[in-house]
Structure 1
């Protein structure tokens, strides 16, 4: 078996591994040697904290350009190479004294099984000596080369600022579009509900999550669904609107959640960008006190019983929409409830954390629900967001529906 830790340590050049929150996870020996910082000064810290821009030079922007590049990789999932950058590095042995250094960085995403960025590889070539070697004593070439690097860095900073502005505009438009397409929250008949949506913080991974609540014909019945579209931004918002509308229509005319997802699966195969989206549909029947449900690759709804017991509805799960080469009927299962219970549907932003097994997130959700058993839907929804989401917000958007039973 390949020892990937050994491979990482042996890689030529300066190589670091960072989280999507831009925190150092690991560095190789070359990075430690050339940066002049020990591992204990790097691991667990942000590049700005370790390598701030030179406060004595108003034009210094190397670290700002680096951070912008890393954030771009997180947002797009694509490799990003920077022009040679000047970095004034404060000497560890002489605080307040700065050394002129030139680095050529390349930032590469590490994708998880779901296609999302999980880590960042930051590779740097030290080119300080190369630039110095191209200039002879007293011929002024060093100053010319330095001016060239600064000019490229300034151009890159302007490009970064324009990209950030464009991303911010796209994010705002996508969120506005999503808000217009999602239904206004309200009760299902006489039964109280609570709906929450929280966009991802500091990323474009927004507008793929959706929810739906409808009153169904044939007695005291209601349909509740949530889903998650692969992708983000305006494209995801458009796909989300189409899938939600299709499922709303199907749930009103078919005989149960499985048939509704069958219809949605067929429809998703004709919508660009809908493949591998997930959804879960539930039909609550207050007359028989049962919940019928079916899931297309989505996280299981949680049924909170009055005594605090949490039952995950996971006995009718199939692949995501359009993922199976051959269309096949979806499974369906039922669960019983008693008055005072609550049904909770959610998307992965609520429970998933990088470097953590999904079972840990589900267990955390169960413990939180148990602590707040008996709470009204609005209070329960607020408690879930407060206790489940990371401080500062999640890196993926979150949709949450709570229905009082």
Structure 2
């Protein structure tokens, strides 16, 4: 390529990639617009974008000019395999001047009669988002400058894909979280509940949750938990743990046994999952509460006429990774009329610049045997106040006694 032609191509590519009108397009339209410009500027017969799937192990065809079948047929290429797979694995451009089953995995490429291919990685903020490749039906040697310009286009595509994926993940996590939190809490003349959930400002929605449900035999199940991780992946795991715990709660009366079953399920099917959970069952007839803790901070117990204290219950290992090899144990606590119990996640008490023991002591002093709703209000005012929490906060209070009027 002559210097004059190279400079002209570079200028046209820069103009195409930095075109301000692209900002107004959604991801699908942006891909289409940029691929059409690549098709014209580089004088190629095909231009294709493959994005890394959620597992990070496969490339999925998402947009193309000239190889529409790739998208229509949902072509998937394992990372590390074949032409595009090598681009993704090593994050380096790959040029081919011989296209057949020995060099590419996807038969559509040689069936279309392509003779030359070049692929470049799409990387944004250090993360691989996909692969951009172009091809011609005539033999051609792509120059180093053309490859560099294609990398520039790939970076622009990667930035758009990364931003779109982040926005979509946050929105999906928020919708999932909202759908899984109880729409209403069961109450009666003798038992009332209240709750709060606030996503962290640093990471948005994560894996914190609370749950309340009726159980056979005049019992109420209370759950509060925290999945390690943030965003949509943590919210998805949270949803699965929530559903599994509910199912085990119907089969087993002992909270420790329920957490044991949940641990077995998570350790087997959610191999990279870890979560802390407090699960309690209140017998509304006897006023007794059984509770089991899987790596979770103990609930706070406020009984009228006594000093508020943390529930004395054994803290077992978190859920996941087969950590509870010696089994799980729980505790039984009496809840006389007027008693209030507060369950919470660590986002309520942890602050980077403050001592955890001091924060826990503040929580203990704040919890009083008041109504469930007023207790939530008082706790959030004292522990959160006007400082936004960096981590998720879930808080659940239950009170045995007549409602305040």
How does the TM-score come out when normalised to structure 1? 0.56
| Offset from partner CA, 1:169-218 (integer Å, 9 cap, x none) | 422221111111222231255521112110111x2252210111111212
Indicate how the Cα distance of structure 1 residues 358 and 392 shifts in structure 2: closer, same or farther if over 3 A, else same: closer
Q: Is the 8 A contact 1:293 1:316 kept in 2?
A: no
Q: Which residue of 1 aligns with 2:301?
A: 303
Q: Secondary structure at the match of 2:172?
A: helix
Q: Kindly tell me: are residues 393 and 163 of structure 1, through their superposed partners in 2, closer, same or farther at Cα, counting changes over 3 Å? A: farther
Report the Cα distance in structure 2 between the residues aligned to 1:299 and 1:237, rounded to whole angstroms. 20
Instruction: Give 1:382 shift.
Output: 1.8
> 1:356 maps to which residue?
354
Q: Return the match for 1:395 from 387, 390, 393.
A: 390
Q: Using the TM superposition, give the Cα deviation of residue 242 of structure 1 relative to its aligned residue in structure 2, in angstroms.
A: 0.5
In 1, the alpha carbon distance for the partners of 2:395 and 2:309 equals: 17
Secondary structure at the counterpart of residue 212 of structure 2: strand
Distance 1:274 1:288, change over 3 A: farther
Structure 1 position 255, deviation (Å): 2.3
Deviations 1:280-320 (A, max 9, x none): 11111233222111100001111111236222124221010
Alignment partners' CA distance in 1, 2:285 and 2:384: 35
Residue in structure 2 matched with residue 197 of structure 1 by the alignment: 197
Determine the structure 2 residue equivalent to 1:227.
225
Identify if the C-alpha distance between structure 1 residues 273 and 175 changes in structure 2 by more than 3 Å, giving closer, same or farther: farther
Distance 2:158 2:362 in 1: 42
Q: Does 1:241 align with 2:243?
A: no
Contact 1:187 1:193 in 2 (8 A): yes
CA distance in 2, matches of 1:198, 1:299: 18
Counterparts of residues 309-348 of structure 1 (less than 5 Å): 309-325=307-323, 327-348=325-346
2:206 pairs with 1:207? yes
Contact 1:167/1:204 (8 A) holds in 2 = no
The equivalent position to 2:374 in structure 1, one of 379, 382, 402, is 379
Question: In structure 2, how many angstroms separate the alpha carbons of the residues matched to 1:334 and 1:374?
Answer: 19
Structure-2 separation of matches of 1:162 and 1:392 = 33
Instruction: Name the counterpart of 2:289.
Output: 291
Q: Contact conserved, 1:208 with 1:231, CA < 8 A, in 2?
A: yes
Structure 1 residue aligned with 2:24: none
Q: Secondary structure at the match of 1:211?
A: strand
Please list the CA deviations of residues 70-112 of structure 1 after superposition, one character each: whole Å capped at 9, or x if unmatched: xxxxxxxxxxxxxxxxxxxxxxxxxxxxxxxxxxxxx9xxxxx
SS of 2:398 mapped into structure 1: strand
SS of residue paired to 2:260: helix
Equivalent pairs counted in the alignment come to 249
Please give the residue correspondences for 1:243-258 in structure 2 after superposition, counting only pairs within 5 Å: 243-258=241-256
How do residues 64-79 of structure 1 correspond to structure 2 at under 5 angstroms?
Answer: none
Q: Matches of 1:387 and 1:273 in 2, distance apart?
A: 38
> What's the C-alpha RMSD, in Å, of the aligned pairs?
2.8
SS in 2 for 1:299: coil
Assess if the C-alpha contact under 8 Å between 2:219 and 2:282 holds in 1: yes
Change (3 A) 1:326 1:279: closer
Deviation at 1:237, TM superposition (A): 0.8
Structure (1 or 2) with the larger CA radius of gyration: 2
Structure 2 residues without counterparts, runs of 5 or longer: 1-124, 126-151, 401-405
Q: In the aligned structure 2, how far is the partner of 1:313 from the partner of 1:167? A: 40
Say which SS state the counterpart of residue 339 (structure 1) adopts.
coil
Q: How does 1:149-188 map to 2 (within 5 A)?
A: 167-188=166-187
Q: Secondary structure at the match of 2:243?
A: helix
Tell me, in whole angstroms, the C-alpha distance in 1 between the residues paired with 2:163 and 2:385.
24
**CA–CA distance in 1 between the matches of 2:157 and 2:203?**
20
Q: Does 1:365 align with 2:363?
A: yes
Secondary structure at the counterpart of residue 200 of structure 2 = coil
- Give me the whole-angstrom Cα distance separating, in 2, the residues matched to 1:263 and 1:348: 24
Q: 1:189 to 1:161 in 2, by over 3 A?
A: same
How far apart, in 2, do the equivalents of 1:325 and 1:239 lie? Answer: 18
* Whole-angstrom distance in 1 between the partners of 2:241 and 2:257: 15
